[in-house]
């Protein structure tokens, strides 16, 4: 298991922001022994964002480690935009067309990968304000986190894999999305930024993202998070898991899925499964 220490806490070894889809490498044989060793070390444990359910390898004493965690969001593959729109209702199709009339939504080639980096940093601050106004935390809050995201963006831009989608309202840049397209399916929906002072701009950003995915006939890995609009646009939740043994961890169910839907998705109610 690729793990390390952050201070005294056992964590998955990975990036500060995009440490996602973690788990055991190779065969699961011996997984129970690894977890038993961690329990014996008496260190705080925060092993987050498991792609596969770790519950089957937990000993009965470790089942209290199984805590709720924000799910992944995935956009399925559609052959083209018409096929996608045929799956949405009339009201959605009307709003989808209205966004194109109200906003200027442009997809930029990978050659423009460096173009929007400074704009992205400014919009991170505005997006964080929007999350805070709704009582939500965002990954854009601290200088260190924003710097890590910009470093990630520069990396994919240098690889020629970064697609920007810009949204303008009355000529002003009010929204950005970043997609990593390495030629495989799915692509990676890496970043979603918008100016919260403009009505419907977050929907316009998703409009551009969906149009791009359909134009390429690829799905999208939307990573994790609490995104109220994603289900409306066809993104489906997929389980992400966490094992936590840390007295400082606050156990809180994700707020963007109703309890019954979360239980259907995971097949259990976490702490009650102990």
For the chain, how far is it from start to end, CA to CA, in angstroms? 23
pLDDT tens digits for range 29-41: 788 899 999 989 8
Helix (H) or strand (E) holding 210: helix 201-216
Burial 34-68 (b: 16+ CB within 10 A, else e): ebeebeeeeebbbbbbbeebbbebbeeebebbbbb
**Digits of tens for pLDDT over the chain (274 positions)?**
888 888 899 999 876 666 788 988 877 778 889 999 998 988 999 999 998 999 998 999 999 999 988 888 999 999 999 999 999 999 999 999 999 999 999 999 877 777 888 899 899 988 888 778 878 778 888 888 899 899 999 999 999 999 999 999 999 999 999 999 999 899 999 998 988 889 999 999 999 999 999 999 999 999 886 567 888 999 999 998 999 999 998 888 777 788 888 888 888 887 544 4
pLDDT computed for residue 17 by the predictor: 63
Domains, the chain, with CATH or none: 3-71+239-273 (no CATH), 73-236 (3.40.630.30)
For all residues of the chain together, what is the average pLDDT?
A: 88
DSSP designation for 228: T
| Rg value, the chain, Cα | 20
pTM recorded for the entire structure = 0.86
pLDDT tens digits for range 97-128: 999 999 999 999 877 777 888 899 899 988 88
Please check whether residue 55 is in contact with residue 66, taking contact to mean a CB–CB distance below 8 angstroms. Answer: yes
DSSP designation for 134: T
């Amino acid at each position: 298991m690729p793990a390390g220490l952050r201070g005294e806490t056992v964590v998955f070894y990975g990036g500060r922001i995009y440490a996602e889809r973690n788990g055991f490498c190779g065969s699961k044989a011996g997984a129970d022994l690894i977890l038993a060793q961690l329990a014996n070390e008496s260190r705080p444990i925060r092993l987050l964002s498991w792609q596969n359910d770790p519950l089957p390898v937990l000993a009965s004493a470790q089942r209290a480690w199984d805590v709720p965690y924000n799910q992944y969001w995935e956009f399925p593959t559609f052959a083209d935009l018409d096929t996608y729109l045929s799956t949405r209702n009339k009201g959605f199709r009307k709003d989808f067309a209205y966004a194109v009339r109200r906003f200027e939504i442009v997809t930029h080639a990978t050659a423009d990968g460096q173009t929007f980096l400074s704009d992205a940093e400014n919009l991170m601050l505005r997006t964080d304000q929007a999350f805070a106004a709704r009582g939500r935390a965002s990954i854009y809050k601290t200088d260190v986190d924003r710097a890590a995201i910009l470093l990630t963006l520069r990396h994919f831009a240098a690889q020629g894999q970064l697609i920007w989608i810009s949204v303008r309202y009355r000529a002003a840049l009010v929204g950005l999305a970043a997609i990593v397209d390495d030629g495989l399916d799915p692509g990676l929906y890496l970043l979603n930024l918008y100016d919260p002072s403009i009505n419907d701009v977050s929907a316009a950003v998703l409009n551009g993202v969906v149009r791009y995915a359909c134009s390429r006939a690829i799905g999208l890995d939307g990573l994790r998070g609490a995104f109220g609009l994603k289900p409306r646009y066809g993104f489906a939740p997929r389980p992400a898991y966490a094992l936590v043994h840390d007295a400082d961890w606050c156990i809180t169910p994700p707020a963007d899925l109703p309890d019954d839907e979360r239980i259907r998705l995971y097949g259990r109610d976490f702490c009650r499964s102990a």
